[in-house]
Structure 1
Amino acid sequence: MAATAAANDSFRVSDVRVEGLQRLPVERVYAALPIQSGDLVGPREVAEAVRRLYGSGDFEDVQIGRDGDQLVVVLSERPSISRLEIKGNKSIDEDNLRKGLRDAGLAEGEVFRRSTLEAITGELQRQYVAQGRYDAQVDTEAVPLPRNRVALNINIYEGSPASIRDINIVGNDVFSDAELRSVFELKPRGWWPFGSRHRYSRERLSGDLERLRSYYLDRGYINFSMESTQVAVTPDRSRVYITINVDEGKRYRIGEVRLAGDLVVEEEDLRPLLLAKPGEVFSQRIITQSAELLTRRLGNEGYTFAQVNDFPEVSEDGETVDITFYVDPGRKVYVRRVNFSGNVKTQDEVMRRELRQFEGAPANTALIDLSRERLQRLGYFGLVEAETPRVVGSEDLVDVNYTVEEQPSGSIGANVGYSEASGFIFGASVSQSNFMGTGNRVSFALSRSDIRDSYSFSHFNPYYTLDGVSRGFSLYYSKIDFSKATVASYAADRIGAAVNYGYPISEYSRLDFGFGYDNIEVTSGDFVAEDIYRFMMAEGNEFNLFKLNASLRTSTLNRGILPDRGWSQTFGVEVASPGSDYMFYKVSWNGERYFPISRRWTLRTRADVGFGDGYGDNNILPFFENYYAGGIGSVRGYESRSLGPRSDAITYVNQCELNPANCVRDPDPDPVGGNLLVEGSMELIFPTPFAPESRNVRTFFFVDGGQVFQTETANNLYEFDAGEIRYATGIGLTWLTAIGPLSFNFARPLNRQSGDDTEFFQFSLGQVF
């Protein structure tokens, strides 16, 4: 047998013999070997074969020899990785680290290559240095195992990020060091040891340098440059000093602002979108915003892939910069299909009826975005994204793809209990805003106890007609058996029904109107307020009411549940019409607005005002239609419906008016509400510590204020007193769960008065506030 890799004489191979394999199949060798039986082989073919086998990466040694007319291939396999263990990594996620190792060929079952391991070790070391962990160490160990296998152990000591001792900026004359340092996220370490802003990171420093460049460009210094950046590390590798050398250059103002290119939209329509004005200080941010506005305007005309590039040029006087916006509209494109993905429950029809961009029409950026906003405002989806990819093989067709992420859109609850006052209690409720994916809102509730039965059902169809006319109806029944009750005050048994219709009058406004019937029978308890008692003596205790209602709602909120942008307001009127046993009206207004402070911080304001009165022969609002305040959704920190006027000092037992000796005072007077409601609140919404990016969890600080007032009774008139308004502050959390929105609030009243009922912790299910 010739043992050398290069034979002097060529020969024709009668057979190929492979020796030395332990783990790999021989077929893998034949696949890499460029020589087969019958080939004429010489030194060149042998050298190529050796190169190919080495190139496969499976072998540490390759020898090719000749035994007569047989080609003999002797191989020494590389070991395979039997086990890979990583210890000590914390700042780099282990799943991501293993994925990177697998992509590089270091994974269990793969062939072990020491050169790859050394390269990975060096890369890990560089990543830790980029994080400012200069004392990090990465040690690797390959432990031989039987059957030509190895176990890889990667032991990492991450160390501690170096702290920034000082950030020194050299060459700045226009802006002070303090002004420029305020742009940076990285800060020198001060007396406060917590936080991460003082920890050096190459990536964060790169971001700060870009912010510094933008700071100058937005203030007219278009020739600003950073000459060099040095990062000096102390010998103990625990601190770094950053020095940035800058050249500020000259400040420029804007000269001429021109439009060039193919102006498919009239120039007079594009000019108002140019935020950059002659004579103003040059600002790259304003220039970029102008180009984006022009691009969107062209997108509204169907030029979805239009490009607008800005070209600043120093004018001849050397004092100003002329700006030219070059417009390349591209081809006008049309929508081939609108596709939805991610909607497991919601029917396609429910989503499609919210669209304002239609198939076959020119692609309109504004309508595509408006359709996305309308889907978001439904409240069924936590996230809605839109993409407009080109149709393969076509230059003038796109698909509009909406990707949605469904979220809980209802609530469910049940309760079983016992109390001395009510006996055994059983209750259940279900409310679903997207019933079975149809977009209809359905809710029902029932509650039964020894003294009280209550049932209700409602249904709302937002698209009763194809053009968006809505219809809803509700049925309700409630009755209390006062012969078995030991409660005070009064109770109103109710049975009724209502029908409501809505009509869209604009993209953001809607007019609703309806009518209903309400039968109310009032039963008094052992104690009853004097005014209520006199009202019942004069008007009776049973009322048949025919109610008419109308409301106008305008909303630009960006989401149906837990919005953080936009505003809404609703003005409503309810009237007990002539023919009713008692005639009255109620007028209300409520509104809310969100003020973005930053990407994650938002200020929310809310206000509610309501007033009711009688008309015709009836001169006051009936007590059973009074407003109440207090609790979640009102003034937190006070018990629900506990604020406002309470029962009069003189109360009645067995018609004590006929026998004054029977009159006693109510030891614990109940709230009776009022005909005037005034409420308001402010919330500072901030990122939730354990879920900063989640749209299903919201945390906030709040300040609430509100009260209800009784401005008139049958015999007296009273004035509104702002000094009686109650205030509270606290912190709250709202969480959208599978069973409905959960709200938790910790509140402290700010001006509690004697007799007020307060609560430090309040909880609710099914109400978002």
Structure 2
Amino acid sequence: MTVENVSVGTRIVFQSIRSNPPCCTPACVVLLLATLLPATQVGAQQASASFDPVVIDSVDVEGNIRQADLTIIAMGGLNRGSAYTILDIQRGFKAMWATGQFQDIRVRVEGDVGSGTVTLVWEVDEQDLLQNVVVTGLTSVDSNDITDTTRVNAGFPYSPAAVGNVMALIRSALSEKGIPFANIVERIERVPDRGKEIILYLDIEEGTQVTVADVTFSGNSVFTDAELRGAMSVQPEGFWWWRSGLYDRDKYDEDLVSGLPSFYANGGYLDFAVVGDSLIIDPATGKTRLEIAVDEGGQYRLREFTVAGNNEFSTEQLQRIFRPEQSGLFGGLDSDEVEFPVFDNGRFQEATQEAGLLYQNEGYLYSNVVPFVRQNEAVDGEGLTVDIGWAIEEGPQAYINRVNIVGNEYTYSRVIRDKIFILPGDVYSQERIIQSFQSISSLGYFEPMEPPDINPNQVGDVDVTFTVTERPTGAINFGTSVGGYGGGLSGFIGYDQPNLFGQGKSGSVRWDFGQYQNNQVLSYSDPAVFESLVSARINLFNSRDQFQTFRSGRRRRTGFDVRLGFLIPGARFTRFFAGYGLSKTTLTQQSGTDFSLFGMPAATQSTVSVGITRTTLNHPLFPTIGSRQSANVDLTGGPLGGDGKFVKYTVDGSWWLPIGVAGGSDTPGTGTTFAIGMTMRMGALQGNSRSFPFDGFWMGGVQFGQQLRGYSETTVTPLGYFDEDARTINDIARVGHAFYSMTTEVAMRLGAQASASLFMDAGNVWENAADIDPSQLYRGAGIGVQLVTPFGPIGLDIAYGFDKPDPGWQLHFRLGPGM
């Protein structure tokens, strides 16, 4: 900044350095203020009057070509007739510079402050305006995908930094496609008779696509070339389509700087280094050979692991995170063995994160677990060793001060709070906050959520705020088909609303029609009857159906069932259920000579049911963590009236554990989550259920009875395996009075809308509960996909049945929430 005194008054120049922010030092401010004051005041009054406001009589603009004076004056925010200090002028200067519309700005104040004729003058040199941006020679990447996300577009001011950023993005995008040596030249062409308007050209020569044909190593003896290639993200081309072998320079650099050193460090080689690398390209084919020279260094073993600063958890508790007894990793430390265990640096870093999470979940929000690795001096005749440990700063324990819910314009807050696992006064727990976030998301009432805001207050406690955005929840579902099973027209139409009145109540009505089905179902459920802790569900149904497996007859059922749920005190995740159902079942024989199933007279079923369920699953369809256990008893007939007299017992449990996450952001629930799960089911029926054969246990397939993939519907019977069309077994003989089944699977959860899994099913049915033998199970394994669609959840599985007389594959289609 320069200051110049002239005879007509005082002239102050506050200028920027071209392409850099303006001078804002205190010395500049004091000097400018001094010139605004009369000479007699610049002494003792300078300090006290330096920030007194001065009234601006007028504001002028000089040097502008493409922008109006008023537009530029508005950018500065300083208007005539108002009083301002130098700080206001400085802020206006910064605001104008931040617009990117100028490549140089000067501000001067003219006139005599005492005379009241002070003029503020903005001297500007405008940045060129992009009339158009032309990208030539770019064929492998869509230029719009890059320029549309930057300020390098028609109508924006020219910015050298932004252009450089676009060029870097283009190079990076080309590099991901195996084109690492693109040449980009920037050209500017001025538009005739259009001052300060230009056309920007980016001329690109992509060059040859580079494919990695081989990766070789030198200097390695501990690990083979194949093992080292497996530790890299840049892979040689292979037979399968996903092994394209494209050379990505950014990923290659990451392999050299991080990937290979981490791989060696996990084996104790802390001194590993890449000492050189070469890229050898065949210009004719674009094939590349990467040659990497390494120095492996020596292997370090773990001599001592210490923990300091811990009070909340014992040293033994914390050490078990890194050395669980069952792993044997530290087996030699407390014995007479001479050799120390190999130090795994990767596992140590993972354990450090686990220790930090342990503290976070116990309220130590401000804790810090600092790892250290100290390489000991080498001793002749002895191996290399390290001492490691954690220096822990626990800090104070934080508590939940408030739990806020923001954005729920339709859904009642109490509905959301029922899904939150933290309360004011609770110890802060990161794990329970994440579980709450996932539980709210699983309601399906809101758009994808951002992570909750965690705001500490003055005393160190925290306010947790969950922000939601409502989305429409009701849906009309319909579908039709011509042909299908039995021919003719069939379909369904219905309406489902999972959030009635914004109170989490659900209601649905559905009509399935066709030559072989005519079903009407009306259902309503309320998770909090009269805002209490009691839940309720009622179903009204009138159905007529004919089973694909049993084509000789059909069934008609009309009735209702109601169920109440009660929260057990002190057990938030556990509910006790009680219900009653009344229905009339009519079985009609239509063809064939086997009257064992459909030859029974019409019967009335009166059933009381009781049960208990505990669930901590984080999603009703696609869980990745938590468990669910339930036990139910259904009593039919006897003192309840109606026909039949029997008791039906069923128990089931499922357990899920996440094993990894790929992609996504920091938001919980995003990306692809991998989880492993196990489900077990068992049931038994005692008494006379002859009038209600479909209340027994059928096994095989996925649409009817107990699930067993790899087998057709109802082919697994108490008498063994029988094909669907087998005539050597009566229909009624396929039903069992006891069953056991289990499923293990590894699932890939693609958000809350899709999932794929590898699974193994096993199960069997028996005539009596005393005959249950878990060692005699039919087995099936395969792969499945599940989707959530506007018509409800659907799934497709293909499974191999191992224990059929002719083992083979079976395709299954699943429809509905019970899939």
User: Do both share a fold (TM > 0.5)?
Assistant: yes
Does 1:583 find its partner at 2:645? yes
Does 1:297 find its partner at 2:367? no
Work out which of the residue numbers 302, 306, 309 in structure 1 matches 2:370: 309
How many Å separate the matches in 2 of 1:29 and 1:412? 54
Work out which of the residue numbers 172, 190, 194 in structure 2 matches 1:147: 194
User: Given the superposition, is the C-alpha separation of residues 425 and 315 from structure 1 closer, same or farther in structure 2, using an over 3 Å criterion?
Assistant: closer
CA contact (8 A) 2:526 2:535 kept: yes
How many Å separate the matches in 2 of 1:305 and 1:209? 32
User: Given the superposition, is the C-alpha separation of residues 94 and 218 from structure 1 closer, same or farther in structure 2, using an over 3 Å criterion?
Assistant: same
Matches within 5 A, 1:163-178: 163-178=211-226
CA contact (8 A) 2:764 2:776 kept: no
How many Å separate the matches in 1 of 2:500 and 2:294? 62
2:608 aligns with 548
Matches within 5 A, 1:472-551: 472-478=537-543, 488-504=552-568, 506=571, 509-525=574-590, 527=592, 529-532=594-597, 536=600, 541-551=601-611
1:212 aligns with 260
User: Given the superposition, is the C-alpha separation of residues 83 and 723 from structure 1 closer, same or farther in structure 2, using an over 3 Å criterion?
Assistant: same
Work out which of the residue numbers 56, 63, 66 in structure 2 matches 1:23: 66
How many Å separate the matches in 1 of 2:409 and 2:62? 58
1:650 aligns with none
Moved more, 303-312 or 207-216: 207-216
| Cα displacement (A) at 1:352 | 0.9
1:138 aligns with 184
Does 1:560 find its partner at 2:620? yes
User: Given the superposition, is the C-alpha separation of residues 160 and 588 from structure 1 closer, same or farther in structure 2, using an over 3 Å criterion?
Assistant: farther
Work out which of the residue numbers 736, 739, 755 in structure 1 matches 2:788: 736
Does 1:443 find its partner at 2:489? no
| Cα displacement (A) at 1:594 | 5.1
- After superposition, give the CA deviation of every residue in 1:272-308 in whole Å (9 maximum; x if it has no partner): 4453854432222332233333323332342212101
Does 1:625 find its partner at 2:675? no
How many Å separate the matches in 2 of 1:266 and 1:727? 46
Matches within 5 A, 1:591-670: 591-592=653-654, 599=661, 600=672, 608-614=681-687, 618=688, 622-629=692-699, 632-633=702-703, 634-635=707-708
**Corresponding residue SS for 2:348:** helix
User: Given the superposition, is the C-alpha separation of residues 11 and 568 from structure 1 closer, same or farther in structure 2, using an over 3 Å criterion?
Assistant: same
1:321 aligns with 386
- After superposition, give the CA deviation of every residue in 1:578-622 in whole Å (9 maximum; x if it has no partner): 2243212223344555576654555655555544342xxx48674
How many Å separate the matches in 2 of 1:273 and 1:748? 40
| Cα displacement (A) at 1:218 | 2.1
Work out which of the residue numbers 551, 556, 572 in structure 1 matches 2:632: 572
- Structure 1, unmatched stretches of 5+, are 1-5, 37-51, 63-71, 482-486, 647-664, 688-692
| Cα displacement (A) at 1:246 | 3.3
Letter in 2 for 1:86: V
Matches within 5 A, 1:232-271: 232-233=280-281, 238-261=286-309, 263-265=311-313, 267=315, 270=318
User: Given the superposition, is the C-alpha separation of residues 247 and 402 from structure 1 closer, same or farther in structure 2, using an over 3 Å criterion?
Assistant: farther
User: Given the superposition, is the C-alpha separation of residues 745 and 413 from structure 1 closer, same or farther in structure 2, using an over 3 Å criterion?
Assistant: farther
**Corresponding residue SS for 1:332:** coil
Letter in 1 for 2:795: S
1:332 aligns with 397
| Cα displacement (A) at 1:213 | 1.7
Letter in 1 for 2:184: V
**Corresponding residue SS for 1:222:** coil
| Cα displacement (A) at 1:326 | 1.2
2:723 aligns with none
- After superposition, give the CA deviation of every residue in 1:318-361 in whole Å (9 maximum; x if it has no partner): 55322231111233333332234565654321121232321244
CA contact (8 A) 1:584 1:620 kept: no
How many Å separate the matches in 2 of 1:359 and 1:469? 23
| Cα displacement (A) at 1:162 | 1.6
1:39 aligns with none
How many Å separate the matches in 2 of 1:134 and 1:421? 60
- After superposition, give the CA deviation of every residue in 1:116-141 in whole Å (9 maximum; x if it has no partner): 68856864675468555244233444
Aligned-residue Cα RMSD (Å) equals 5.5
User: Given the superposition, is the C-alpha separation of residues 73 and 11 from structure 1 closer, same or farther in structure 2, using an over 3 Å criterion?
Assistant: farther
CA contact (8 A) 2:681 2:740 kept: yes
User: Given the superposition, is the C-alpha separation of residues 374 and 603 from structure 1 closer, same or farther in structure 2, using an over 3 Å criterion?
Assistant: closer
User: Given the superposition, is the C-alpha separation of residues 191 and 639 from structure 1 closer, same or farther in structure 2, using an over 3 Å criterion?
Assistant: closer
**Corresponding residue SS for 1:331:** coil
How many Å separate the matches in 1 of 2:237 and 2:356? 44
Letter in 2 for 1:295: G
How many Å separate the matches in 1 of 2:269 and 2:421? 43
How many Å separate the matches in 1 of 2:652 and 2:153? 61
Does 1:363 find its partner at 2:428? yes
| Cα displacement (A) at 1:363 | 2.0
Does 1:399 find its partner at 2:463? yes
How many Å separate the matches in 1 of 2:5 and 2:777? 112
How many Å separate the matches in 2 of 1:718 and 1:74? 97
| Cα displacement (A) at 1:29 | 8.5
1:649 aligns with none
How many Å separate the matches in 2 of 1:684 and 1:295? 28
User: Given the superposition, is the C-alpha separation of residues 531 and 172 from structure 1 closer, same or farther in structure 2, using an over 3 Å criterion?
Assistant: same
- Structure 2, unmatched stretches of 5+, are 12-58, 81-95, 107-120, 325-329, 334-339, 662-671, 720-725
CA contact (8 A) 1:644 1:671 kept: no
> Percent identity among equivalent residues?
22
How many Å separate the matches in 2 of 1:216 and 1:412? 57
User: Given the superposition, is the C-alpha separation of residues 209 and 465 from structure 1 closer, same or farther in structure 2, using an over 3 Å criterion?
Assistant: farther
How many Å separate the matches in 2 of 1:451 and 1:245? 72
User: Given the superposition, is the C-alpha separation of residues 198 and 718 from structure 1 closer, same or farther in structure 2, using an over 3 Å criterion?
Assistant: same
**Corresponding residue SS for 2:341:** coil
1:40 aligns with none
How many Å separate the matches in 1 of 2:779 and 2:318? 52
User: Given the superposition, is the C-alpha separation of residues 118 and 56 from structure 1 closer, same or farther in structure 2, using an over 3 Å criterion?
Assistant: closer
**Corresponding residue SS for 1:350:** helix
User: Given the superposition, is the C-alpha separation of residues 139 and 296 from structure 1 closer, same or farther in structure 2, using an over 3 Å criterion?
Assistant: closer
User: Given the superposition, is the C-alpha separation of residues 409 and 607 from structure 1 closer, same or farther in structure 2, using an over 3 Å criterion?
Assistant: farther
| Cα displacement (A) at 1:494 | 3.3
2:269 aligns with 221
